[in-house]
Amino acid sequence: MKHVDLYTDGACSGNPGPGGWGSILVYKGKELVLSGGDPSTTNNRMELTAVIEGLSRLKEPCEVTLCSDSKYVIDSLEKGWVYGWKAKNWMRKSEPVPNADLWQKLLPLVSAHRLTYIWVKGHNGHPYNERCDKLATEQAALFA
């Protein structure tokens, strides 16, 4: 099984507000750099979109190391919270789970691969996290 590193970040100017996302896939030293944005979104939606866009580019099942500064994304997947939300029909207590539409897009992508999760502190000098942050903030600025 091929091993791929996926680095992601999301950004939002205001929350909600204009936002952007950045993803970098690394396989055997080659990089695929992706980015995009939305005129009205939230930071968490951009974090999720970065992961969705990165994983959706993989053409076959892979071992993926997902590296993100989003505790929301990493903890929800690694600690299994998202599977509990799904089991409860995307409800948490008596309220709908935020971003359920994106979680529903992400879960099939996650299940297609073997993922390892790494949380990194944002804005702390991690080279790929800094690059993804730059991609995301540049995209968000296009809508500002």
HEC string for 11-61:
EECCCCEEEEEEEEEEECCEEEEEEEEEEEECHHHHHHHHHHHHHHCCCCC
Active-site choice (5, 38, 47, 53): 47
pTM, to two decimals: 0.97
Q: Under CATH, which architecture does the 3-143 domain have?
A: 2-Layer Sandwich (3.30)
Residues 105-121, mean pLDDT to the nearest whole number:
98
Consecutive H or E run containing 6: strand 3-12
What pLDDT sits at residue 144?
82
Among 88, 49, 89, smallest CA distance to 72 is for 49
What pLDDT sits at residue 30?
98
What pLDDT sits at residue 59?
97
Q: Each residue of 16-33: pLDDT tens digit?
A: 999 999 999 999 999 999
Cβ count within 10 A of residue 59: 6
47 is catalytic: yes
Q: Each residue of 41-63: pLDDT tens digit?
A: 999 999 999 999 999 999 999 99
What pLDDT sits at residue 42?
98
22 is catalytic: no
126 is catalytic: no
Two tokens at 118? Answer: 């790494």
